Every structure is written in C-alpha cells, then in structure tokens.
Amino acid sequence: MDRYAVVAARLLHSATTEGGAASYARQLADGIGPRLAGSPGEKAAVAWALDEIRAIGLEARTEPVMVPVWRRGEARARVVSPVEQGLAIAALGGSPPTPPSGISADVVEVDSVEALEALGPSRVRGRIVLFNRPMAPGLAGYSAVVGLRTDGASRAARLGAVASLVRSVGTGRHRLVHTGSVVYSSDAPAIPAAAVSAEDAELLHRLLATGANVKVTLNLSCSALPDAPGANVVAELRGRSHPEEIVLIGAHLDSWDLGTGALDDAAGVGIVLDALRLLASSGLSPRRTVRAVLFANEENGLRGGQGYAAAHALELDRHVVAIEGDAGTGRPLGLSVHAGPGGAESVAAFARLLLEQPLVREEIGGPDIEPLAAAGIPLLDLVQDESRYFDWHHTAADTFDKIEAGPLAESTAFLATMAYVLAEDAATLPRPRATPAPRGVQELWRSDRGPRRR
C-alpha cells in the first residue's frame, strides 16, 4: 500500500496545483453551454471532447447511439381565479404540448401518490393536479420526492387529470424552476407536465387553503422530434500487461437546457478528463486499461449507458470495475459500492489513501453504468459533498460560477487514484451477482421506473 500512497500524493499535488478539472468544466459550460440530446450543443460537446482527449496525447473515438429529441418551446402559466398572478414554470422533459389555446382547469393539491389515490377519479377528473411536497436536503431528500416528478403525470392521468404540476425538486429558492424527465406509462394518457417554483407552489397552497376554487391556465409548446444520431466519446490509457482488462471511468456529456450544465455534469466530465490526463502525463502505466467514457443522453433517455453495454457485450466479462462521477463540484467523501462479498472493505482500504474516514455505501452505481450490473461488473459511484448541489441542479442557475475548483481537484485526484489502484492491483474486486438488466430505453422513457439524479 505504501507505493500506492506515493502515487496518490503525486496525483493530489498535480490535480490541485494544475486545476485541469475546473478548466475542462469551464470550457464545456461556458464555451458550449446547454447540451440536451439531439441539440447543436450536444454535437459541439462531442467534437470538443474528442479534441481535448487528443490534446492529452491519447486516441479518442465516438460510438454512435440514437438519442431522443425533445424541444422545450415556451411555457406559461397563470392563476386566473380567485386572483390573477403569473407562475414560474418549466416544462418537464418529454412532456407533450398543451393545445395552442392552453389548458384552463381547477387545481387539486396532493403531497404524495397515496393522497392522490385517496382523492379518486371524482375529485381529479378534469383538473390539474399539483404535487406539492418540499424536498429535504441531500440525495436522500431528492430520492424521496423525485418520483412525484417522474411518475406523477401518469398517476394523475389514470384518474382523469388534464395536466400535472410538480413543486420543483430542489432545495434552492429564488423562484428557480427545476426541470427533469417525466416518465409516462403506456397505460395512461400522456398529459402535459411542468414544474412550478417552490414559491409558486406555496402560493397555490395558500390560495387553496382559503377554500376557494383555484383555476390555472397552462400553455406549453414543447415538441418531440424523431430520434437523431448521438455518440458516446471513448478514450483509453492502454494497460501494460493486461490491456484486455478494463477499468471504466465515466461521466455524462449531455445536460439540461435551462442552465449550462456546469454541476450536472460538466464537473464530472472535468473530473474524468483530468484524471485521464493526470495518469497519462505522470508516466504511470497500470497493468490494466483505464477507459474513459463520456456518455450521451443521461438526462432524458439513458441511451448512452444502454448503448455502451450493448456495443461492448462481448467484452463485459473483462471489465473489472466501472466508476461514475455525477455529483457536482463538492469535495470527495467516498464511494458507493456494488460488488461481491468483501468488495466494500477493499474499496474502503484504497479510499483511505486520500480520505481519512471514507464514506462507503453499499448500493448500485449511477444511471449510466447501471446497465453493466447485468454482467456482474463491480460498480462504484463517486460520493461528494452535495450540500449545495440540489440548490442549483436542473435549474437555470446551474452555471460555472457554482464550480469550486479546489474541491473539484480533490475529487479528480481521488478518482485518478482509485482508477490507478484498481487497474494496477494484482487482485480485482469480487464480482457481484448479476442483476436483471434495466428496462429497454423506450420502455424506461414511458415506465414507472424513476432515475436517481436525472
């Protein structure tokens, strides 16, 4: 372990003094901006990533995937009774448009699926359902409420609702609206769905609490276009003695379109690219190949992760581990681990090279690498300080000024160290039992299965 400690110290020094991860994140967020699947920004990001990897001195390639194309258009909403007030809203990804004249209907408010079901069709039919539940801080808080965003529209539609509004899934205020995917079920109409700011959800709550009928007019002009060509970007630092064995490090290249995707996930892209650069420039040559993958379409379809698993099906048994970074700019705290017996303990020992008391959570990895669970590949997910992440996540304020260069550099050194040790160590992590493959991408887009951070 002493020789690994020397390497970890070198990587930490280089990462924190050179600031490469923040530079990559700035180029992607400021220089290219929003990168929703099928958009010009997405194509520009792929070309940029290829150039940056080649500048490191490594070969880079694209692997094609077809991605969904959804355009936001305009979104407007107003309370028209018992008062007139505008509402801050954003269409949810995948929502159909309203009729050109909009939808005007009374609002009914619930804070859970159970509360919605208790109302029944008689109190929901013909109305706009408002899912109004505040989010507690952190990833656990997000996971507890994000299902209302992903699944709420279909739940409401089954009971006859004409549209769905959800309180923005985030911890920030400032009348910021959090977008994200809505996932439609095949057994219910796909009704228009939008997020409303926390402040405006509370306005509607107060108006409803007076006992008045609250009517809202909603106009969405979003649209879906035919699938378009997209691409994962792949690069490798070839292993010296077992190049056929692969340690994968990845992040997603796309972003939502309200902000510039700095935290989600230019930060992760910066971490992955700079970890690759540090390993290449340091002269370190681990026995196994370190493969970097920048995934397409994580935000509204997961085509990149699914496409990678399908394209590499014949070599998945040679993947010894996959690590994903999609947790913003905060300092590293540890890793989530999906491995066989003893795997979490091994990961914790390696993590202590840079973290005194690493947090190790035993759970499955992030959305882009989750399809690899079907092949029994150990999956790791960077755990970072997310205390401010959900203030800005999926909002117009997800911009480069939120990036903290120092903590981002520490996360880069941590990922580079973990990638090196797992690619160099004679032992590999124990493989977990293969889990069922996630549902097909088209089914996922319409099903009741919700994402973690998407």
Quote the CA–CA distance of 308 and 302 in Å, as a whole number.
10
pLDDT digits (tens, 9 = 90+) for 241-273: 999 999 999 999 999 999 999 999 999 999 999
Q: Is residue 451 part of a domain?
A: no
DSSP-assigned letter for residue 291: E
**3-state DSSP call for residue 155?**
helix
pLDDT in the model for residue 2: 81
277 & 202 share domain: no
* Residue scoring higher pLDDT (283 or 115): 115
Q: What is the pLDDT of residue 370?
A: 96
Q: Quick one: pLDDT at residue 173?
A: 83
Q: What is the pLDDT of residue 3?
A: 86
Domain assignment of residue 453, yes or no: no
Would you say 395 and 261 are in contact if contact means Cβ atoms under 8 Å apart? Answer: no
In terms of Cα–Cα distance, which of 118, 159, 84, 139 is closest to 384? 139
For residues 353-380, give the mean pLDDT.
94
Does the pLDDT of residue 98 top 80, yes or no?
A: yes
Report residue 402's pLDDT band, with 50, 70 and 90 as the boundaries: very high
Q: Do 18 and 124 sit in the same domain of this protein?
A: no
Q: By the 8 A CB rule, do 41 and 35 touch?
A: yes
Domain membership of residue 244 (yes or no) is yes
Q: How sure is the predictor about 450, in pLDDT bands with cuts at 50, 70 and 90?
A: very low
> Cα(30)–Cα(266) distance, rounded to whole angstroms?
10
CA 235 – CA 427 distance, rounded (Å)? 24
**In the structure, what pLDDT confidence band is assigned to residue 401 with cuts at 50, 70 and 90?**
very high
The whole-number pLDDT of residue 437 equals 56
Mean pLDDT of the chain: 94
The domain spanning residue 53 has which CATH number?
A: 3.40.630.10
Give the mean pLDDT of 22-33. Answer: 98
Confidence of residue 451 (pLDDT cuts 50, 70, 90): very low
Mean pLDDT value of segment 152-167? 98
Same domain? For 154 and 205 the reply is: yes
Backbone angles phi, psi at 321, to 5 degrees: -170, 155
CA atoms within 13 A on the CB side of 240: 10
Which of 221, 240, 266 finishes a domain? 221
236, 298, 324, 410: the catalytic one is: 298
- Reported as a single tens digit per residue, the pLDDT across 47-79 is 999 999 999 999 999 999 999 999 999 999 999
The candidate with the shortest Cα–Cα distance to 393, out of 141, 140, 95, 180, is: 180
Give the pLDDT confidence of 163-182 residue by residue, as tens digits.
Answer: 999 999 999 889 999 999 99
H helices, E strands: number in the chain: 13, 16
Tokens of 350: 């390696």
Q: Say yes or no: 216 and 261 in one domain.
A: no
Q: Average pLDDT for residues 349-374, to the nearest whole number? A: 94
- What are the C-alpha distances in Å from 378 to residues 26, 282, 381, 386, 428? 31, 27, 10, 24, 10
Tell me the pLDDT tens digit for each residue of 314-353.
999 999 999 999 999 999 999 999 999 999 999 999 999 9
Q: How many CB atoms lie within 10 A of CB 345?
A: 11
Would residue 317 count as lying in a domain? yes
74 is catalytic: no
Q: What is the pLDDT of residue 447?
A: 31
Q: How many domains does the chain have?
A: 2
Q: Of 221, 238, 255, which residue constitutes the final position of a domain?
A: 221
The pTM is what? Answer: 0.94
Do 60 and 115 fall into the same domain? no
Burial of 241 (0-12, 13-18, 19+ CB in 10 A): exposed
Same domain, 389 and 428: yes
Q: What is the pLDDT of residues 432-447, one digit of tens each?
A: 998 775 543 333 333 3
308 falls within a domain:
yes
Domain ranges, residue 77: 73-221
Task: Please report how the helices 2-18 and 405-424 are oriented relative to each other, as an axis angle in degrees rounded to 10.
Answer: 150
Looking at 164, 195, 221, which one is the last position of a domain?
221
Quick one: 231 and 376 in the same domain?
yes
> How confident is residue 210, by pLDDT bands cut at 50, 70 and 90?
very high
In a domain, 117, yes or no: yes
Say which CATH number the domain at 88 has. Answer: 3.50.30.30
Mean predicted confidence (pLDDT) in 362-389: 94
Mean pLDDT of 368-395: 96
Stretch 6-29: mean pLDDT, rounded? 97
Shared domain for 243 and 387, answered yes or no, is yes
Instruction: Verify that 63 and 82 share a domain, yes or no.
Output: no
- Number of alpha carbons in the 13 Å side-chain half-sphere of residue 202: 6
